[in-house]
Amino acid sequence: MVTRTIRWLLFCVFVLTVPLPMLGPWGVLAPTARYLLLAVVTAAVMAVEGAAGPVPLILALFAGHALVYLLLSWLAARLCTRLVNRLPAHARTGVVVAACAALLLIALMFDLYITPFGGLPHSNLLGLLS
C-alpha cells in the first residue's frame, strides 16, 4: 500500500468515525461526516426556502465545524501515515487495515455518538448516517 493510499484511507476512516465535540450548548459528539451531513441538509433548506432567520448562522456553524474537523482529520491522517511509514514495508498494510477495521467495527457496534439533532440521543455509525 503506497503512502498516498494509506493517508487517504486513514483520513476517510477518521472523518467517518472519530467523535468530535460541537461548540456551544448542544452537547454533540459526532464524527466529521455528521457535521458535513448537517451542513448539506441546512444548505439544501436554505436553497429551497431562503435564508430567513437563523438558517445562515446554523449553516455557518455546521460548515465551520465540518471544515475545521476535515482539516484536523487530514493532519491526523498525515501524522499517522508518517508513523506507519516507520514500520517495515510488509507490515504497513496489515497494521493500517487492522486499525481502520477496528475503528469502523467499534463505531458500528457501540453508540459512541451523542446526536441531539437526530432522532436518537445516542447512536452508532449506521444510525448516524442512515
Partner 1 sequence: MKRVVLALLLPALLMPALLLPTPHATASEAPFERSEQRSPCTDYDPLRRAFFGDTHVHTALSFDAWGQGTMAGPGDAYRFARGEALGIQPYSSDGLPSRSIQLGRPLDFAIVTDHSDLLGETRICDDPSQEGHDSLVCRVVRRFPKLGYILVNGHVYSSELPSRYSFCGSGGRVCLRAALGPWQEIQQAAEAHYDRSSACGFTTFVGYEWTGMPGGRNIHRNVIFRNATAQRFPTTYIETPTQEGLWQALDQECLQAGNGCDVLAIPHNSNVSAGSMFTVSSADGEPISAEDAAMRARLETLVEVTQHKGDSECRPGAEDELCAYETLPYPRMADMAHVNSEPGQLPPLMYTREVLAEGLLQQARLGINPFKFGLIGSTDTHLAAPGLVAEDSFIGHAAGTVDSRLQVPAFPDRAEFNPGGLAVLWAEENSRDALFAAMRRREVYGTSGPRMTVRMFAGWDYPDDLCSGDDFVEKGYAGGVPMGGDLPAARGARAPKLALWALRDPAGKQSPSHPLERIQIVKGWLENGRSVEKVYDVAGEPADPDALDLSTCTTRARGSDQLCTVWSDPDFDPDAPAFYYARVLEVPSCRWNSYLCNRAGVDCDDPGSVPRELATCCDTGIARSIRERAWTSPVWYTPAGQR
Q: Is 94 in the site for partner 1 (CB under 8 A)?
A: no
- Please pick, from the candidates 2, 4, 25, 88, the single residue that binds partner 1 as defined by CB under 8 A: 25
Q: Is 88 in the site for partner 1 (CB under 8 A)?
A: no
Q: Is 118 in the site for partner 1 (CB under 8 A)?
A: yes
Q: Which is nearer to partner 1, 73 or 115 (CB)?
A: 115
CB atoms < 10 A from the CB of 36, how many? 18
Considering only 39-47, 66-74, 75-83, 103-111, which stretch makes contact with partner 1 by CB under 8 A?
Answer: 39-47
d(CA 75, CA 7): 10
Collect all residues with Cβ–Cβ distance below 8 Å to 103 and sequence separation of at least 6.
13, 14, 17, 18
Least distance (Å) between residue 116 CB and partner 1: 5
Beta strand residue intervals within the chain, DSSP E: 20-21, 29-30, 113-114, 122-123
Considering only 15-23, 69-77, 105-113, 118-126, which stretch makes contact with partner 1 by CB under 8 A?
Answer: 118-126
Q: Is 55 in the site for partner 1 (CB under 8 A)?
A: yes
* Nine-digit cell string for 24: 456551544
Nearest to residue 22, comparing CAs of 84, 69, 57?
69
Residue numbers 61-80 binding partner 1 by CB under 8 A = none
Do 128 and 35 form a contact (C-beta atoms < 8 A)? Answer: no
Chain positions contacting partner 1, by CB under 8 A: 24-25, 38, 41-42, 44-45, 48-50, 52-55, 58, 116-121
